[in-house]
Amino acid sequence: MDRVLLQPRHQLAHANMSIHPLSAARARLLEHFSVPDSTFGERWALLWDAGDFLPWDKGTPNPALEDLLENRKDLLGGSVFVEGESGALPGEKRRKRALVPGCGRGYDVLLLASYGYDAYGLEISDTAVKLCEEYASEHGKDYPARDESIGVGKVKFILGDFFKEEWEKEVEGAARFELLYDYTFLSALPPSTRPAWSLRYSQLLSSSTSGCLICIEYPTYKDPATRGPPFGLPPKVYLGHLSHPGEELPYDEEGSLLENQIVGTGSTASLERIAHWQPERTHEIGKGTDWVSVWRHI
């Protein structure tokens, strides 16, 4: 059960597919991903390699994330510094670590660093990682420290598969993160991976009281019966899977989660939703339909 539930600041639009019609771009994505689930990573990498069709690239960080970082210290903690790793000197501090899986060109990673986090972006494509590094080199100055007394955190982009552990060796210190951020990443994955997606986040999220997973829930307007990516993701999908990490949950033939048939109360790996609201600002495609959820270990 949520400890904090914020009421929407504006009326949720009665969205349907007529609001976001099947565009040529979406049709091209559907055709490109008419492949077995196990090959999705390769197909995303092919799009990055070609470079002529990147409809998910919005060119800026998501304003909803910026507003959360700026205004919700009550959820994230008042400081970006925590006690050092095991073996550190008494009183030694380090910056909190943040991870953005499927980071795209790295806009949100740079935003997190500007708030003082040591920020890591993870991508399945070597081309995407190189583009991230180029963008950071050319535009890092556009993401100055939001607080001069805190400064800017480190930025690192990593090539790797979110579901595997090999990339973790590229993280300075233990590969556990005080902030995890998911926007469009889950919608890019086939539904069959949702149990593994939720379990992986539970494993990567720090167990400290300041550890938070932030999800910008998108696309909530899309009928789950339609194919993806992006796959339709009503809030109940996030709630069901993150409350039951690693578990296979019941879905009907149309792809809708049967939340009333979920058995049990989760496990020691379960995450708890501590806040849920509609953002005043987000990317244009999600206005009126995006939700923000924040999660912690129980």
Gyration radius of the chain over CA positions: 19
Beta bridge partners of 182: 215
Domain positions in the chain: 24-82+92-297
The pLDDT, as a whole number, for residue 18 is 35
CATH number, domain 24-82+92-297, options 3.30.70.920, 3.40.50.970, 3.40.50.150, 3.40.50.1970: 3.40.50.150
The pLDDT, as a whole number, for residue 1 is 43
What span, in angstroms and rounded, lies between the C-alpha atoms of 261 and 270?
A: 18
CA angle 271, 179, 159 (to 5 degrees): 110
**How many angstroms separate the first and last alpha carbons of the chain?**
11
The pLDDT, as a whole number, for residue 163 is 98
DSSP 28: H
Tokens encoding 118: 């040591």
Peptide bond before residue 224 is cis, with ω within 30 degrees of 0: no
The pLDDT, as a whole number, for residue 89 is 75
From first to last of its 298 residues, what are the pLDDT tens digits of the chain? Answer: 444 444 343 333 333 333 344 578 888 999 999 999 999 999 999 999 999 999 889 999 999 999 999 999 999 998 999 988 766 678 889 999 999 999 999 999 999 999 999 999 999 999 999 999 999 999 999 999 999 999 999 999 999 999 999 999 999 998 899 999 999 999 999 999 999 999 999 999 999 888 999 999 999 999 999 989 999 999 999 999 999 999 999 999 999 999 999 988 889 999 999 999 999 999 999 999 999 999 999 9
Residues 181, 100 contacting (CB under 8 angstroms)? yes
The answer to pTM > 0.85 is yes
The pLDDT, as a whole number, for residue 22 is 52
What span, in angstroms and rounded, lies between the C-alpha atoms of 47 and 32?
A: 9
Of 18, 33, 17, 23, residue with least CA distance to 55: 23
